[in-house]
Structures are given as C-alpha cells and as structure tokens.
A and B are shown apart, each in its own frame.
Chain A
C-alpha cells in the first residue's frame, strides 16, 4: 500500500514533469541560440492557450481550427517580435533583452483577459475525463496525453537538432555567433527560427496545461517552473530538460503526497525552488552542467 502510493506519486510526477519540460524546452531553445533569457515563455504558453480556448468557447471554432489560429498567431507574433523588438538589441547587454521580455510578459498578462475575458476557460480535448485505472494505479488521461505529446515533440525536435542540417547549423549558432558567421551561416535567420520554434512549443505547452488546469492568467506561472527545471537538468541538452522536468514533477508530487498532510498543503508550490537554491549553492553550474574554466 505504501509502495503503491509512492509509485503512483512518482508516475504522476513524471508525467507532470514531462509537461514542464515542454515549457522549459522553449526557454532553452531561445537561451542557447540567442543568449537571451526569455521571461515570457510562460506567458507565451498562456496566451496561446487563451487564443485556442477563446476561439473554441467564444466563437465556436472546432479544436483543430482553434489550434491552427493559435499556431498562426504564435508563429507570426514571434517572428515579428524578433524582427521588430529584439533584433535591434543584438549586441546590447543581456539585461536589456531580459527587461524587454519581462515587459512583454506583463503585456501578455494584461492583454489576454482584455481580449478574451478574465474567467477561467476550459480547452475541451476529445479525451475521457475519468482517470485511467490500471490495476491499482490511477492516471489522469490529460497527464498521459501531455506526457506523450512532450515525448513526441522532444523526439522530433531532438532529431531535427542533432541530425538535420538546419538543426546542426542551429547548434553552431548556439555555440558561437561569430564562428557561425564565418561559416556563412545567416545567424539572424536562425534567431527567427528559434523564436518561431519557441512559439510553436509554447502552443503545445499551453494546450496540454490549459486543458489540464484550465485557461486563465494563472497559466503564466508555468514560466517560473522553467528555472528549477533548467537549473536541475541543465541547459545543454534536450535530455537535460527532460530530466530536469521530471525531477521537478516528482519532487512536487512527493511533497504533495508526503509533506502536505502534515502542514496543511501548499508545499509543492515551493519545494522545487528550495531544491534549486540548494543545488545552486553546491553546484553553481547545475547538477549536470560542467564547470567552465575561462582563460583570462
């Protein structure tokens, strides 16, 4: 019974963690290729979800059409964002870009409810609500779907990144802008590609999280989970993001299962950050990160 409870917590934690990884991978993508820290990735997810939910609930669009609208918006918006706002900032201090993304995040938080209303909206997916019962275990279908979408995306994206020519060029850009330029790589074009991919993955994240917990501005809080995920898993690889996501998901589930009953709940909201700070104190470069020695 004890073991069964533990396994159930871990299973749910893993699935939730995979869904966190879906949010974090958008952040990592931007950080790696453009050196920008995007504080608006959670808001990207939220806004994409608001669009999908809004078009479904307010305008009666079918799911696929609402997703198409959301995707189109995210791609066009992020393309424009890179071209208009961020490109002139290339070469400026990173802080400038961070401030710009924080501003963007707040605009998104204000704009979403303004356009589509502030009440929590559902994204009804054609999947059952009832938990799947598998022997003694319960799994929620939306978590299962979310985890599967995450794994599928990571697999396709991983292939693209590791094997395809554009992916390899993108890794080159992430490694060094200067050397990439010397290879004839149009670095700016890859910045645009990175932002558009981040928009696409934000739509996926918004979709699974929106249908799991409902769509409102609270969804943007997801963005803050990116930091423990990235610190615990590392920025270097897709595997790192998945591992980080799973660690965060499992920690949350365990603290909700074992600690909450004694303190009245709410611990899962901060335990990942406690772990993050402990890791930063012991290994400032992350659990899987390598210490870099810089020549001075």
Chain B
C-alpha cells in the first residue's frame, strides 16, 4: 500500500507503521509514509508533534517500538546510527552540532569518514595509499566548500563562525558523506531572511544538481511550501495529512491542527 501519489520514481525510504514511546508518552504513533527518490520531502507540524523523533528513527538514534523503516528496501529499523550513516543517510541536527574546536575543513573531512578506508596503523603513515586516498577525499571536500562559498573560511575554527555560516558548514559536512538520503532538522531555524534565502538555494541546488533525496523538518511555512515536492503533517505523534503543498494547505485537518497559532511562522 502506498499513499503517495505518482508511482513513477522508485521509493527511497518506506516508513511502515512506525511508532515510538518514551515511558508513557507516545511520541510517534503508527506513521506510514514513502519518500520518493529525488524529491524534497518536508515534515511539518506543531511543536511536540514527533517530527524530530521521526528523523531520529530514520537516522538510527532511536529504534521504532513498532513498525519498520526501509531504506532502499533494506530494513534499517534496528540498525545503529553509525551503520546507517555508512549505508548512505546523512543528517544535520536541530541545534548546531559542529565539532567547534575543529576547522571547517576538518569538520567536512569528518563528514567523509564513512567513505574512508585506511586502518589505524596505516593512518600513522602519511604516504602511499593513505595519502592518495586523502588527496582524493580532499578534492571532493574542496568542491563542496566551493559550492557553499566557504572557501575563505576553510581554516577557520567552526565554533567561531556566525550562526548562519555554522548551519551552512553543517550542511556541507552532511554533503561530504555523499548521502543518497539527506535529513535536515530545521536547516533554516533562527536564520535571518538573507541566510534563509541562501540556505533554500543550496538545498534546492543539492536536490536538483546532485539528485539527492532530501527529507527536512522546517517551521517556516513559506519555505516549506516553496521547496517541497511532498509534505507530511504530524500532530501529537500522528500523521494527519500528506500530499503536495497545495493539497496539504487545503486540508481542513491541517488548518485545525494549526488553529490557535494564527502565525504559522514560529520563531525559533
């Protein structure tokens, strides 16, 4: 059963009846959804709706109590976060989670950790295969740095950068893993208008030029409606609506869930 319209593209991620409880609190309840290959998929909903829990389940930080999550038809419900990263799912965090003491470049090279193969002893040796591998990875990281216009800041400690730039570096670090599914937890939260516009452009470029499938949580409705192919709306742990931005906007259940907060653009 698939409740996503359009069966043309293949399904990247299948969520099947996923549920998660914390003690007596039902954070996510019986959510089923498909994320199509190559799309931008947004998860929205009021605070406490279970959006981040959902993302944490996809990235392996939580395991669903019920149901399954399948990535490229692999059941990843009980796979740990580092293995999921190795499978090709990268993520960013709601609160900036850069390695603050490290440079932008080091942060991004760490993003490529999953693609690197040298062992402990070989990493002591800087020449030979280790160096060739290093150079190859470095080239790719430099491309990403270039793409995100961070060239001047490569050697700057990540913790010293302005907020919007840190968000951008975190995006770059996730991109460095060359993920086939990119999870973004509120990539534009706390940004000013200009920073938001930049971030929207980068997200769309990644999606269109590299064909990366993107799932994101975002509170800015304007942004969500602009960039998403499909939107899933959650409230109190349940999925209450899903469809194209226009369909979701017209759904009475969605309007009801948001009633009371007349301003949809929550200030983070």
- Which residues of A line the B interface, CB within 8 A? 160, 163-169, 171-172, 175-176, 178-187, 193
Contacts and interface: CB of A to CB of B under 8 A. Distances in A.
16 contacts: A165-B130, A165-B134, A166-B123, A167-B123, A172-B102, A172-B110, A175-B101, A178-B61, A178-B97, A181-B80, A181-B81, A182-B93, A183-B82, A183-B110, A183-B114, A184-B177
A184 B85 contact: yes
Contacts of A160: 124
Contacts of A164: 123-124, 126
A171 B109 CA distance: 13
Interface in B163-183: 173, 177
Nearest to A236: B101
Interface residue tally on B, bucketed by range: 20 to 34
Contact of A183 (B61, B80, B113, B120): B113
Contact of A168 (B109, B120, B130): B109
Name the prevailing secondary structure of the A interface residues: helix
A169 B82 CA distance: 13
A184 B130 CA distance: 19
Given A165-B134, A166-B120, A171-B102, A182 B113 contact: no
Given A169-B110, A169-B113, A184 B123 contact: no
B133 to A, nearest CB: 9
A182 B91 contact: yes
Given A160-B124, A166-B123, A184 B113 contact: yes
B68 interface: no
Contacts of B74: none
Given A171-B99, A184-B85, 10 more contacts: A165-B109, A165-B130, A165-B134, A172-B110, A172-B113, A176-B97, A183-B113, A183-B114, A184-B86, A184-B177
Contacts of A169: 110, 113
Contacts of A165: 109, 113, 116, 118, 123, 130, 134
B106 interface: yes
Nearest to B173: A183
A171 B98 CA distance: 12
Counting chain B CB atoms within 10 Å of each CB, the highest count among A163, A168, A169, A178 belongs to A168
B100 interface: yes
A84 B126 CA distance: 33
Contacts of B124: 160, 164
B57 interface: no
Contacts of A172: 99, 102, 110, 113
